[in-house]
Amino acid sequence: MPYIELHACSAFSFLRGASFPEQLAETAAELGMPAMALLDRNGVYGAQRFSVAAREQNVRPIIGCELSMQDGALLSVLVENRTGYKNLCELLTKAHLR
């Protein structure tokens, strides 16, 4: 059974990730991963770049986000489809406008 990383952070997550989305996709392909999830902190900052690069590498991109809760906890969320992505973006917009 192949391994799929479900909690990678890009360099757009300050002090959490060091690689750009394209590098993550390339590494996933080199390691033979059929898919990889990108979860930047409180945003989908690297999602577009990661999606394009992953598809070029024949890696299925899974987009999500690591949300900071009011009590300090972190909630990792993954989107399943375009509707989920839209809902996540709306949630992030509301959170950033608070």
Range of the domain at 44: 5-96
Q: How confident is the model at residue 1 (pLDDT cuts 50, 70, 90)?
A: confident
Tell me the per-residue pLDDT of 6-51, one tens digit each, with 9 for 90 and over.
999 999 998 888 999 999 999 999 999 999 999 999 999 999 999 9
Supply the pLDDT for residue 48: 97
pLDDT-derived band at 98 (thresholds 50, 70, 90) equals confident
Question: What CATH number is associated with residue 44?
Answer: 3.20.20.140
Per the structure, the count of domains in the chain is 1
pLDDT confidence of residue 68: 95
Q: Supply the pLDDT for residue 11.
A: 95
Residues in the chain, overall count: 98
Q: In which residue are the tokens 């987009």 written?
A: 63
Report in angstroms the alpha-carbon separations of 62 from 1, 55, 56, 88, 92.
Answer: 18, 11, 14, 13, 17
Interacting residues of 92 by C-beta distance below 8 A, sequence separation 6+: 42, 43, 44, 65
Whether the predicted pLDDT of 62 surpasses 90: yes
